[in-house]
Amino acid sequence: MNSKSQNTEIIDKRVVKEEFKYSEITFKVLASAFEVHKILGNGFQELIYQRALAEEMSLRNLSFQREFEMSIFYKENHIGTRRVDFLIENVISVELKAIIKLEDVHLAQAINYLEAYNLEIGMLINFGAKSLEYKRLINPKYKIINQLNQTNHTNQRFRQSQGKFK
C-alpha cells in the first residue's frame, strides 16, 4: 500500500462520523465531488460533472448505477418513472445540479425523490457554484422493510428499467 492510500484511510477514519448512517459511503461520494470540482471548477453542464463524478467514484471503488430509473407510485398505483442521477451501493441517491445557487425547491425535489424511492439517505450536490455545495438528506418518511427485500426490490426495478432501453 502506498503512502497516499494510507493517508486516505487515516483521513477517512478521522472524518467519517459513525453516528451518521452510511457515512463512509457519503464521505467517498463527497471526496469524489470535491476532486471533480477542484479540477473542473464551475460552469459546465450537469452531464459533464456526472461523467467526471462517475470516473472519480470508480477510482474510489464505489458501486453505483448512473441514471437509475425508478418507479413512482401513488396509492400503490404506478404513475411513472424518474431517473436518479446516481444510486450508490443500492442505498443512497445522489442528485446533481450545475446551477449558480441551490434553492429550497431543489432540496424539496431531492427529498421528494427519497420518499418516492423509499431510500433513507440521499445527497444533493451542486457543481455550479464557485464553491461546491452539498446537502446530506434524510428521508423523514422512510419505511423500514427487510433489507434483503429492499435490495431485491431495487435490483428488480433496475432490471425492469434496463429492459426498457434495449
Instruction: Find out whether 59 and 78 touch, Cβ atoms under 8 Å.
Output: no
User: Quick one: which H or E segment has residue 80?
Assistant: strand 77-88
Query: Is residue 113 pLDDT above 90, yes or no?
Result: no
- Domain range summary for the chain, segments of one domain joined by +: 3-164
Question: Cα dist. 136→81, 92, 110 in Å?
Answer: 23, 10, 10
Residue 11: pLDDT band with limits 50, 70, 90: very low
Q: Do 96 and 127 meet the contact criterion of CB atoms below 8 Å apart?
A: yes
pLDDT tens digits along 126-152: 999 999 999 999 998 888 875 545 555
Tens digits of per-residue pLDDT, 90-110? 999 999 999 999 999 999 989
69 sits in which H/E element: strand 64-74
Mean pLDDT in residue range 38-53: 97
Q: What is the pTM of this model?
A: 0.76
- Comparing C-alpha atoms, which of 82, 97, 30 is closest to residue 60? 30
CA 65 distance to own-chain centroid: 9
The answer on pLDDT for 154 being more than 80 is: no
